[in-house]
Amino acid sequence: MPPLTSAAHNPLEAVDGALRRQGETEPDIRAWVLVDAEGAREAAGRVTDGPLRGVPVGVKDIIDVAGLPTECGSPLRRGRIATSDAWLVDRLRRAGAVPLGKTVTTEFAYFQPGPTRNPHNLAHTPGGSSSGSAAAVAAGVVPLALGSQTAGSLTRPASFCGVAGYVAPVGAWSTRGFTGLSPSLDAPGLLTAGVTELAAVVEAVDGTRAELPDGIKVLVWPGTELADIDPAMLDALDRTARALTAAGAKANDLAGQVRTPELAETHATVMAYEAARSLAAEAEHPESLSTPLRELLDSGRRTSEGEYRAAQDTARTARARVLDLLTRVDVILAPAAPGPAPRGLDATGTPVLSRPWQLLGLPVVTVPGHRDPHGMPLGLQLIGHPDRVARLLGIARYTEALIQEAAGGTR
């Protein structure tokens, strides 16, 4: 895959290269809903400057691009044309990037899979719901794609597809132009080949520059109280923690400091309640909704306002406690998913390892580089403080370098 900065030399050439690669890979990967070749070439011809000059971008199909449909993986939105760019698309255009088209999402960014396949093994899921974006980056079509996260919608596909992912702190980046599922949980995000590119895009969007602090402090969380974690993933976590320690970081266990099962359950309550109200109009057409989405909306309608307010109180209390913790340590290091991408295309894997942190609105970076014995990617997540994103990105970049060094080279 060409580096993200290579597009700066010739935007039109970069776009044409992406279009060629898309044509080569799409019959197998099926990552794209729509490719706007003419619009992308015209936009590339107008680009003159910017830190992302000419970089082709895939846009998850819950995110508006002016003049293109935003169909959200649902027949209920078929043919609905966006009249303006989403906030994040506009920021990227201002930085010189060029939207190539819309990537596949699960239905309304929930569980019902789209047609996308994992580029590392076509018989395995790419995850959800930013599945098309993760696969498009992993297949080398675009160096940058946009996603979002409400539960584990970005960290999981990043892990499964072996790419880097960034979930912005909830509220830090506008969701204007996004079709949301749960307003207090929804967050925009990015997918790139590696963390270095990820950091460059974050800086282009909001000016945050990655920085590596002196004396890294890490809490290690294996997630075993929430899921059965694959031995290969536990080994990847252990090797990375030991590499950080050997390089001078201080690592301790998170065990007992955060009640993650309670937070995962609370997340599910909040998401169901808010989704039932965000998609109230769509719920009037149950015949056009998948079974998982109907069940989510039914659960949300059964959730009382009192239960919802109690869940939000739990979240606020836990957030204060965890933010205090993250002023005394730099990051939490954890698996981004229980293991490699499961075989099969009828499900997208579990988001449970992301639920506690998304409930708390924390920024997350998925760091690629590990593989299981069958060659399938294994991603780790670094969770940080929302006011210390620069530090999170710097530690993530450093961690990726240690993983690459242990693997005997660069990607």
Separation of alpha carbons 359 and 266, rounded Å: 8
Could you tell me if residue 223 is left (phi over 0), alpha (psi between -120 and 50 degrees) or otherwise beta? left
Q: List the catalytic residue out of 74, 129, 182, 278.
A: 129
Separation of alpha carbons 219 and 166, rounded Å: 19
Cα separations in angstroms, 287 against 72, 76, 282, 351, 402: 16, 10, 10, 26, 50
| Token duo for residue 40 | 């992308």
Separation of alpha carbons 336 and 334, rounded Å: 6
Separation of alpha carbons 237 and 241, rounded Å: 6
CB 372, CB 378: distance < 8 Å: yes
Q: Is the peptide bond before 148 cis (omega within 30 degrees of 0)?
A: no
Q: List the catalytic residue out of 74, 131, 148, 153.
A: 153
Burial of 216 (0-12, 13-18, 19+ CB in 10 A): buried
Which DSSP string do the residues of 330-363 spell out, in sequence order? SEEEEESSSSSPPBBSS-----TTTHHHHHTT--
Cα separations in angstroms, 248 against 120, 234, 316, 349: 34, 21, 34, 35
Q: List the catalytic residue out of 60, 74, 148, 278.
A: 60
129 has catalytic annotation: yes
Q: Which residues contact 344 (CB under 8 A, 6 or more apart)?
A: 123, 124, 125
**Partners of 403 in the β-ladder:** none
Separation of alpha carbons 113 and 125, rounded Å: 9
Element (H, E) at 134: helix 131-138
Match 């974690």 to its residue by tokens. Answer: 229
Cα separations in angstroms, 383 against 165, 229, 233, 354, 373: 12, 18, 17, 10, 26
133 has catalytic annotation: no
* Active site residue ranges: 60, 129, 153
